[in-house]
Amino acid sequence: MIALLQNKQWIRLFTLALLCVCFVGCKPKSEVDRTLAIDAKKKEIVFVTHNGPTTYYLNNDNQPAGIEYDLATQFVNDYYPDYKIRFVIVNSISDVIPSLLKGKAHIAAASLSVTHLREHLVLFSTPYQETQQQLIFNNEINKEPDNISDIIGKTLAVPEGTSYEEHLAVLQKKNNALKWQSIKRTNTESLIEEVADGLLDYTIADSHLAALMQNYHPNLSIAMPIGPADKIAWAMSKNSDRQMLANINKFFEKIKNDGTLRNLLDRYYGHNKRLNSSDITTFLERSNSLLPKYVHLFKQAQDITGIDWRLLAAVSYRESHWDTYNTSPTNVRGLMMLTEGTADLMGVTDRLDPKQSIPAGAKYLLKLIDTVPERIPEPDRTYMALASYNIGYAHVEDARVLAKRLKLNPDSWADIKKTLVLLKNPDYYTTLKYGYASGGAPVIFVESVRSYQRILEKHQPSHNPEFDAFKIARN
């Protein structure tokens, strides 16, 4: 014990755990119980979370998004339909549980890993996701370490108050020389950016966030897993309403069984591993060299169709790599790789002319979106339209029919991905109206487009036609 306590990280973790136990066990009940009660008159459910791509953020329309936001919103709609929902956004994950214990929220929904230390403080719900902590490094600067001993002497940093600290403390038992920095008021995404920029040798991230960030930085690599897999769950104060906790557990059980959770996880993370580092490097290079020639045309196409120009640009890149003279062996041509039939349908006389092909491709995609049943929610409706752009709507409809036969959800892209790939199997395609199709191709197409769009959204500003018109009028 003396040897362990010589390390600052161990001292801090040990002290925190001791204080937590003493706080809960020794304080008078009046001082401990700061739980935010459910106010029947106010009719409000409060969640505490923090900003991040795996929790809560504002999307391109300046609207709340993120898997925790979606889950929380659906939970309140399902179990407390007469209540409003409010989010308390804290600066970092280390502030989440303290805010909960101070009575600032009913529920913590912040991509929290279930750990032994945290279980002394809060009640966890049924876990809804499993993730693996991974060591992240810059492959242009450092070689891949074979084991923990190889990172001794290098700079390793993690956000303070994360479960990463607990796993590192366990590893330190086997290697006393292991050191790391616990950084206050930061998040994992920021530290990953520092690794990508060469300012930090290593950090640790959950596998779904690591995969997401690799889409933005091709020089990031994963070295090794850190500790066993973690389970992600919501948390509540130990003095909170047990009926609400029971409702949360029922909610997660329901959305696991009906496919809603699978669909949400696919929506936010399903495309993350589609691109390799070479794909991303080439895309980023061409975003700087070729894309500027056509940005105004993609934005004009957005004005015509209402489809985000970055989605249109992503489709174009996946089809032609922004090579206006691109022609396939089957005579599909141009920036949007239009077939002769599609070009005729959309009134295009020269498929190699970007001024014709880009708006035509955008209007054709809009036509496909309108063809997909309106009851299918976004973004699944657009994903199915994108698959139709690649393989034709008839085969997508076959995949939906097959999904229904297999007791999957025909309105969920996460399930349609599974049945599209079955269209090359004679056991299935011979029973369907439109027969054989290479169904893996549209899945790869859609997931790649999603990844390219996400990268553009990070690096390219959205297009607001009303604001642009205002600027023109002022000038």
Expressed as residue numbers, the domain containing 427 is: 277-471
How far lies 156's CA from each of 131, 201, 204, 393, 403, in Å? 20, 6, 8, 50, 46
222 and 236, same domain (yes or no): no
Tokens read off for 15: 């002290």
209 and 162, same domain (yes or no): yes
Query: Can you tell me the mean pLDDT for 413-431?
Result: 93
Q: Which residue among the candidates 319, 374, 447, 457 is catalytic per the annotation? A: 319
pLDDT of residue 245: 96
Residue 248: pLDDT above 70?
A: yes
Domain count of the chain?
A: 3
User: Does residue 309 fall inside a structural domain?
Assistant: yes
Beta-ladder partners of 88: 48
Cβ neighbours of residue 183 closer than 8 Å, sequence gap 6 or more: 157, 158, 159, 160, 191
208 and 90, same domain (yes or no): no
Query: Can you tell me the mean pLDDT for 83-87?
Result: 95
The answer to whether 381 and 369 have CB atoms below 8 angstroms apart is yes
Query: Can you tell me the mean pLDDT for 408-418?
Result: 95
User: Does residue 21 fall inside a structural domain?
Assistant: no
pLDDT of residue 35: 65
Any idea which residue has 């755990």 for tokens? Answer: 17
User: For the domain that residue 209 is a member of, what is the CATH number?
Assistant: 3.40.190.10
Q: What is the mean pLDDT of the chain?
A: 88
Please give the Cα distance from 109 to 73 (Å, whole number).
Answer: 11
Tokens read off for 45: 């459910």
Query: Can you tell me the mean pLDDT for 207-223?
Result: 91
Could you read off the pLDDT of 27-36 as tens digits, one per residue? Answer: 444 334 466 7
Tokens read off for 113: 């890993």
pLDDT of residue 267: 85
The answer to whether 250 and 169 have CB atoms below 8 angstroms apart is no
CB atoms within 10 A of CB 216: 18
DSSP labels for 168-205?
HHHHHHH-TT---EEESS--HHHHHHHHHTTS-SEEEE
Please give the Cα distance from 26 to 20 (Å, whole number).
Answer: 10
The answer to whether 116 and 166 have CB atoms below 8 angstroms apart is yes
Residue 145: pLDDT above 70?
A: yes
User: Is 378 designated active site?
Assistant: no
Residue 204: pLDDT above 90?
A: yes
Smallest Cα–Cα separation from 154: which of 167, 145, 163, 164?
145
Residue 13: pLDDT above 70?
A: no
User: Does residue 7 fall inside a structural domain?
Assistant: no
260 and 289, same domain (yes or no): no
Could you read off the pLDDT of 337-370 as tens digits, one per residue? Answer: 999 999 999 999 999 999 999 999 999 999 999 9
Amino acid at 386: L
The answer to whether 39 and 212 have CB atoms below 8 angstroms apart is no
pLDDT of residue 471: 35
Q: pLDDT band at residue 129, thresholds of 50, 70 and 90?
A: very high
The answer to whether 388 and 372 have CB atoms below 8 angstroms apart is yes
Cβ neighbours of residue 267 closer than 8 Å, sequence gap 6 or more: 67, 379, 380, 413, 414
DSSP labels for 275-292?
S-HHHHHHHHHHHHHTGG
Please give the Cα distance from 239 to 95 (Å, whole number).
Answer: 19
Cβ neighbours of residue 64 closer than 8 Å, sequence gap 6 or more: 56, 57, 58, 87
343 and 411, same domain (yes or no): yes
Could you read off the pLDDT of 324-339 as tens digits, one per residue? Answer: 998 877 688 899 999 9
User: Does residue 18 fall inside a structural domain?
Assistant: no
Lowest mean pLDDT among 7-21, 144-158, 275-289: 7-21
The answer to whether 449 and 314 have CB atoms below 8 angstroms apart is yes
Could you read off the pLDDT of 250-305 as tens digits, one per residue? Answer: 999 999 998 899 989 988 888 777 788 889 999 999 999 999 999 999 999 999 99
169 and 73, same domain (yes or no): no
pLDDT of residue 358: 97
User: Does residue 16 fall inside a structural domain?
Assistant: no
The answer to whether 144 and 137 have CB atoms below 8 angstroms apart is yes
Rounded to the nearest angstrom, the gap between the alpha carbon of residue 169 and the centroid of all alpha carbons in its chain is 28
Write down the H helix ranges in 203-270: 207-214, 242-257, 260-269
Query: Can you tell me the mean pLDDT for 235-239?
Result: 94
Query: Can you tell me the mean pLDDT for 151-172?
Result: 93
Tokens read off for 127: 């876990």
pLDDT of residue 404: 97
Long-range contacts of 295-299 (CB under 8 A, 24+ apart): 295/460, 297/354, 297/355, 297/358, 297/359, 298/358, 298/362, 299/463, 299/468
Smallest Cα–Cα separation from 402: which of 435, 356, 372?
435
CB crowding 342-367: b at 16 or more within 10 Å, else e: bbeebebeebeebebbbbbbbbbbbb
Query: pTM for this structure?
Result: 0.76
User: Does residue 39 fall inside a structural domain?
Assistant: yes
237 and 166, same domain (yes or no): no
pLDDT of residue 59: 75
SS3 of residue 433 by DSSP: coil
DSSP labels for 110-160?
EEEE--HHHHTTEEE----EEE-EEEEEETTTSPPPSSGGGGTTS-BEEET
User: For the domain that residue 323 is a member of, what is the CATH number?
Assistant: 1.10.530.10
251 and 374, same domain (yes or no): no
pLDDT of residue 474: 32
104 and 203, same domain (yes or no): no
User: Does residue 156 fall inside a structural domain?
Assistant: yes
pLDDT of residue 102: 93
Tokens read off for 291: 């894309």
Query: Can you tell me the mean pLDDT for 141-150?
Result: 92
258 and 402, same domain (yes or no): no
Burial of 6: CB neighbours in 10 Å, binned 0-12, 13-18, 19+: exposed
Please give the Cα distance from 74 to 255 (Å, whole number).
Answer: 10
438 and 344, same domain (yes or no): yes
Q: pLDDT band at residue 466, thresholds of 50, 70 and 90?
A: low
328 and 443, same domain (yes or no): yes
Cβ neighbours of residue 431 closer than 8 Å, sequence gap 6 or more: none
